[in-house]
Structures are given as C-alpha cells and as structure tokens.
Chains A and B, each alone.
Chain A
Amino acid sequence: MTEFLRLLRFDLRLQARQPAAWAALVLFFILVIVLLPFAIGPDADLLNRLAPGLIWLAALLMSLLALDKLFIADTRDGTLDLMLLSPMPLPLIVFGKLLAQMAMIFLALALMILPAALLLDMNFGIVPVLLLSLALGVPVLVLLGGIAAATTVALHRNPALLTLLLIPFYIPVLIFAVGACDAVLMGASARPHLFLLGAMLALLVPTSPFVIAATLRNMQE
C-alpha cells in the first residue's frame, strides 16, 4: 500500500511538472465553451437549457485530448518496459496512472466549471447534480479511455483512431450524465441516471486496470 501511494505521488508529480500540458487542457475546455454560443446563437434561454450538455461535451473532448498522451511518454523513454518488469502488479501501476490522469482532469474542471457555468448562463440549481455527474462520469471516461490508449500505444501516428474507438463507448456516459442534469431541470429525480453512472464506474474500476495491463503486455512483448 505504501508502495502504491509512493507511486501515485510520483505520477502526480509527473503531471505537476508538465504545467504546459495541463494548461492546454484548461484552455481547450474553456475555448470550446466560448465557441459554442457562437455556433448555436446567444439566446439566453437556449444556452441555459443546453448548458449541462455543452459542459459535458467540452469535458468529454478534453478527456479525449488528455488520454491521447496517456502512455506515449512512458513508451518513448522506456518507463513502460520498467513497469512491465516491476515486481509490483502491473494493474496496480496502471491504476495509479489512471488516478493521476483523473486528478489532472478534475483539477482543470474545478478551475473552469464556474466560468463555464457563468458564460452559459447556467441554472445554478443543477450545479450539485452536474458536479456529481462529472465526479462519477469522468473516471468512467478515463477508465474506458485507458483501454483504448493502451490498445493504440504502438500506433501513435493515428490520433483519430483513439477517438473513433472511444465514441461508441462514450455515448452511454454522455446520455446518463446529461440525463441526470436534464431530469433536475424538468423537476424529476436525477438518482436513476446517477446510479447507472455509478454502476458503470463500479464495473470498470476492478476490470479496466487488468484489461489495460494485459493490453500493454501484449503490445510491448
């Protein structure tokens, strides 16, 4: 356990030492939010109605951008080979990496969610549910994305491939997350949607690191 914590701290520090990569995510997220009103018109009612969906879309695209680089640096500098040889179980190492990735995305979201909500004139009543849906949904995005990132790690010349692979898997997450916010807007209960997001998370936490580990082993041998 202490080993794992040390590894996690190492991964977090790695992320912290690359402020440029992180700033790119923040910038990307807010730029998408700024552009959307130009695409759909400045009508306040419309923006208000669409705000949770737009924020979720921006968060999803930002996660895709971040995941693209998840295992690339480790493959290039040989860290991945050391990870494979390490006496520590590979799924645990992978899980640490995924947690660090989630932390980075969450930090970007925490910084930008308020400006985004203000820009889109969001109804503040849905903020708790939106935050909850992000808290449950973003880890699902990362856990699924990790599998695709591991699968494509040997093929880093094709950035569109990761997106193509992930879109079918991201659609249910988007539906449940935005469904939760919409339910609140319409005065219904958001609980069923959030439960389903939670169920997806509960399914992926114990399985995804193992699938990623097996994939990485296959790709590196």
Chain B
Amino acid sequence: MSISRFANPGQFMRLAERLMPFCAVGVILSFAAGIYVALYASPPDYQQGETVRIMYVHVPAAWLGLMIYLAMAIAAGTGLVAKHALADIFCTAAAPVGAILTALCLVTGSIWGKPTWGAWWVWDARLTSVLILFLLYCGYIVLRGSFEDHDKGGKAGAILLLVGVVNIPIIHFSVQWWNTLHQPASVLRMNGPSIDAGMLKPLLVMALAYVFYGGFVILLRMKTELLARRIEAAEMLQD
C-alpha cells in the first residue's frame, strides 16, 4: 500500500472525486472565517495601521506560490525516474495556479508597499526573489505549452523544473547579498521575530483557506487535463 498506487489515473480520479467536495467545503468555511477575522476581528498594527490586513492575503499567497513550485519539482523528479503519467499532469495543472498566486503576492505586496514604503516597487531581496519565481513559472508554462507531444514536453518541462529548484537557493542568496550591498537596511521589513497572536490566528486561517483553494483548483485542473488527454488519444485512434 504505497502512495504511488494513486499514480494510476483511474485510482486518482476516484480519490479526486472524494477529496474535492471536502476541499470545496473547506474553502468556503475557512475563507468566510478568515476574511471575517482578518478584516474585523483582528487588531490593526501599531505602525502600519489598517494596511496590515493586506498581509492576510499576501503572505499565504507567497507561501503557497513557493510550495507549489517545490511540489512541481518533486513531481517532476519522480516523473522522470518512475515515469508516472500523473506527474506531468500535476505539473501542467499546478503551474498556472502557482503563477497566479505568485502574481497575487506581487500585486498585493505592491499595494501594501505604496502606503508603507512610499513606492510601488522596491528592489528588496524578497520582492526580487518572488519576481524571479514568477518568471520561472512563466518560463515553465510557455515551454510546456509549446510542445504538442506530451511525452517530450513533459520531460523538457521536468528538466527545467529540476534545474530551477537547484537554482532557487542560489537566486535567493545572491539577491539577498546584492540588495544588502547596494542598499543599507533602510527598508522596513516585517520580520519581527514574534508576530502577535491576534494576527497569527487570522493568518493561519487564511493560509488554510488558500491550501484548500489550491487543492481544489489543482485537482479540478488535473481531472480536466486527464480527460482532455483521453479525448486526444481517442481522436488519434480514430484518424
């Protein structure tokens, strides 16, 4: 009994059927609770005031954006080694979701940055790494979309994901260094070691909502992709 039996598309379909309603209910409940707590029932920050509420949308998007990339890289690695058909389907399905979340993270960060830092964009190390992550997503999506042959495209995409995941720490580290060299630590950052419990709770609820949402959309997209490929295969047989 290993997890790999769900790599069988039929098994996966059954699992997805069972998980999706659960995710859907989870999204509705945790989003409702999260938005209520984040917008009304949590304290404003003593420095940032009400703008701190953007964080509840922003931070989970960043977390999930990075997590989805790592998950895609793991799937790509197992897909290359074990040749599971589902690995490529997961990557194709998850990439746009990750890209959108990363974009959401950038946009909300920008909206937060304007009143707080006085600029829409600052070449801060973290902002830059997230921007590069977004570019990695875009590269993967365009590359994967350029192939008509799923076998070749899947492998090419998997190689890109793996090379990219090796590079993520290098990018993160280099950008950190680059920023500290050019700019003294004048940029305000919210990396206080302890976040107030009144803010941590809505943040975690929102993170849960994002995870349910991501799970739901990715499962849905995987199902669609699987069906689309079955139709493609059937059409090929007819010709």
Contact = CB atoms under 8 A, between A and B. Distances in A.
B174 A151 contact: no
A45 B189 CA distance: 33
B132 A171 contact: yes
A161 B159 contact: no
B174 A176 contact: yes
A171 B171 contact: yes
B146 A168 contact: no
Given A154-B152, A164-B135, A179 B178 contact: yes
B142 interface: yes
Given A169-B167, A200-B170, A151 B175 contact: no
Contact of A168 (B139, B177, B181): B139
B167 A168 contact: yes
B135 A215 contact: no
A161 B139 CA distance: 7
A85 B233 CA distance: 31
B117 interface: no
B159 A215 contact: yes
Interface in A203-221: 211, 214-215, 218-219
B160 interface: yes
B111 interface: no
Interface in A154-201: 154-155, 158, 161, 164-165, 167-169, 171-172, 175-176, 179, 182, 196, 200
Per DSSP, chain B at the interface is helix
A147 interface: yes
Interface residues of B, number: 24
A219 B139 CA distance: 18
Q: Most A CB atoms within 10 A — which of B135, B139, B178? A: B139
Contact of A165 (B132, B160, B171, B178): B160
A161 B145 CA distance: 11
Given A155-B146, A211-B163, A165 B175 contact: no
A164 B159 contact: no
Contacts of B167: 168-169, 172
A47 to B, nearest CB: 18
Contacts of B155: 215, 218
A158 B178 contact: no
Contacts of A168: 132, 135-136, 139, 164, 167, 171
A151 B143 contact: yes
A215 B174 CA distance: 28
Contact of A164 (B138, B156, B170, B175): B138
A154 B175 CA distance: 33
Q: Most A CB atoms within 10 A — which of B147, B155, B163, B167? A: B163
Nearest to A163: B139
Contact of A182 (B142, B160, B181): B181
Interface of B: 132, 135-136, 138-139, 142-143, 146-147, 152, 155-156, 159-160, 163-164, 167, 170-171, 174-175, 177-178, 181
Interface of A: 147, 151-152, 154-155, 158, 161, 164-165, 167-169, 171-172, 175-176, 179, 182, 196, 200, 211, 214-215, 218-219
Given A161-B142, A167-B139, A218-B155, 8 more contacts: A151-B156, A154-B152, A168-B139, A171-B132, A175-B178, A179-B181, A211-B163, A219-B152
28 contacts: A147-B163, A151-B156, A151-B160, A152-B143, A152-B146, A154-B152, A158-B142, A161-B146, A164-B135, A164-B138, A164-B142, A165-B143, A168-B132, A168-B139, A169-B164, A171-B132, A171-B171, A171-B175, A172-B175, A175-B174, A175-B177, A176-B174, A179-B181, A182-B181, A211-B163, A215-B156, A218-B152, A219-B152
**Pairs of residues from A and B, 3 with the lowest C-beta to C-beta distance, nearest first:** A172-B174, A175-B178, A165-B139
